[in-house]
Amino acid sequence: MMTRTASAWRVLVLLGALGLAGGAGASEGHQEEPEHEGMAAMKAQMAGKAPGHHGGVHWGYTGAGGPAHWGDLKDEYILCKIGQNQSPIDIGPVVEARLQPITFDYGAEPLEVINNGHTIQVNRGGGAIMVDGQSFRLLQFHFHGPSEHTVGGKHYPLEMHLVHRSADGHLAVVGVFLKEGEENPALAAVWEHMPEQAGGKARAEKVSLDVNALLPEDRSYFRYSGSLTTPPCSEGVRWLVLREPVEVSAEQIRRFREVMEANNRPVQPLHARKILTPF
Ligand SMILES: [Zn+2]
C-alpha cells in the first residue's frame, strides 16, 4: 500500500516535470497536478518533508487516500466532501425532455496511451462534439472498472469517459458503459499499448484509432449536471452518459482489471438534480 501510494505520487511528479499535467479540472482530474505543485512537492521531498497537508497521503481508491477522505486531503479538494452536484450517480428515474442529439465529430489519430496510476488514459489531439450549440474538443479518454455510474443500482464491468472542453473552459464528459460480450477490435488497439506500470507511456504512431468505433450505434443519452469523479471534484461538468453499452470480451475486462485495481468513486447523492433523457 505504501509502496503503491509513493510510486503513484512519483508518477504525478514525473508527469508534472514533463509538462504533461494540465490545469486544475482540465482533464477530469486525472492529470490535475499543476507543474508548480509537482515541483514544490519534489523540493519538499528533497528537503526530507512529506508533500501535502496531511502527511503526504495522495488520493487513491483505498485506505487513507480513498474516496471517503478526498475532501480532507487538501483544501482544493473540499468539493469532494461538501459539493451538492457530485459525480458519479446512480441513474434511477429519468425525466424526458426536448434535448438535441449529441453530434460526434471524431477522426482517426495516432494513439498515446498512459498509465497514470489512477487510470489508463488515451490522450488526443483532435475530435469534438457539439452540445448546446457549442463545440467541445476531445482532450482525452480513460477507463474505470467497475463502472462509476450505475443504472438502477447495477454496475457495468467498465466505463469509458471521453473528456471534452469548450473554448471558454467548460467541460463535457461522455460516459460509455462497457459490458461483457464480443471482443471489441477498437478497444484491442488501446489495450495492446496499455502500460502495465504506473508512469508508463506508449506512443503508437502506426496504430491510429477512430474513436467513433468505441461508441455504440444508438447515441441516446442520460444528461445531468455533475462533477469530476476525481479530486478536485470540480462541479459544472455536463455529463452525457450513453444509454446503450458497448460490448467488450471477458478477456478485455480481465486485462484491464489486472493492470488497474478498482478505480471507481462510489455513487454520490443526487440532491436536487434531475436526470434528463431525450424524448
Ligand atoms: Zn473518469
Q: 161 C-alpha vs ligand 1 centroid, how far in Å?
A: 5
For residue 44, pLDDT beyond 80: no
**C-alpha distances in Å from residue 140, one per residue of 28, 122, 165, 269:** 9, 5, 10, 27
What gap in Å lies between CA 19 and CA 21, rounded to an integer?
6
Question: Which is nearest to 115 in space by CA: 143, 81, 87, 156?
Answer: 143
Give pLDDT, residue 55: 59
Percent of the chain with pLDDT over 70: 80
- Tens digits of per-residue pLDDT, 205-245? 888 888 999 999 999 999 999 999 999 999 999 999 999 99
Write the DSSP string, the chain: -HHHHHHHHHHHHHHHHTT---STTTTTTTT---HHHHHHHHHHHHTT--SSSSTTPPP-SSGGGSGGGHHHH-GGGTHHHH-SS-S--EE-S-EEE--PPPEEE--EEEEEEEE-SS-EEEE-S--EEEETTEEEEEEEEEEESS-SSEETTBPPSEEEEEEEEETTS-EEEEEEEEEESS--HHHHHHHTT--SSTT-EEEEEEEEEEGGGGS-S---EEEEEEE-SSTT--EEEEEEEESS-EEE-HHHHHHHHHHS----PPP---TT---EEE-
Q: 173 C-alpha vs ligand 1 centroid, how far in Å?
A: 8
Question: Which is nearest to 127 in space by CA: 117, 136, 115, 119?
Answer: 136
**C-alpha distances in Å from residue 157, one per residue of 144, 146, 245, 247:** 9, 5, 11, 10
Mean pLDDT, the chain, as a whole number? 85
- Contact (CB, 8 A) for 9 and 41: yes
Q: 47 C-alpha vs ligand 1 centroid, how far in Å?
A: 34
Catalytic residue list contains 53:
no
- CA count, 13 A, side-chain hemisphere, 253: 18
- By CB atoms closer than 10 A (0-12, 13-18, 19+), residue 261 is exposed
- Tens digits of per-residue pLDDT, 12-24? 333 333 333 333 3
Q: Which domains are assigned to the chain? A: 2-82 (no CATH), 90-271 (3.10.200.10)
Q: 261 C-alpha vs ligand 1 centroid, how far in Å?
A: 14
For residue 260, pLDDT beyond 80: yes
Most confident of 43-52, 107-116, 179-188: 179-188
- The band of 112, judged by pLDDT with boundaries at 50, 70 and 90, is very high
Q: 177 C-alpha vs ligand 1 centroid, how far in Å?
A: 12
Q: 28 C-alpha vs ligand 1 centroid, how far in Å?
A: 6
Give pLDDT, residue 209: 87
What gap in Å lies between CA 168 and CA 253, rounded to an integer?
36
Question: Which of 118, 149, 164, 193 is the catalytic position?
Answer: 118
Q: 143 C-alpha vs ligand 1 centroid, how far in Å?
A: 6
Q: 235 C-alpha vs ligand 1 centroid, how far in Å?
A: 14
Q: 232 C-alpha vs ligand 1 centroid, how far in Å?
A: 13
What gap in Å lies between CA 276 and CA 131, rounded to an integer?
14
Expressed in angstroms, the distance from the first to the final Cα of the chain is: 47
Average pLDDT over residues 165-189: 97
Question: Which is nearest to 118 in space by CA: 234, 190, 198?
Answer: 198
- Tens digits of per-residue pLDDT, 53-74? 455 789 999 999 999 999 999 9
Q: 278 C-alpha vs ligand 1 centroid, how far in Å?
A: 23
What gap in Å lies between CA 26 and CA 193, rounded to an integer?
24
Q: Quickly count: other Cβ atoms within 10 Å of residue 95's Cβ.
A: 10
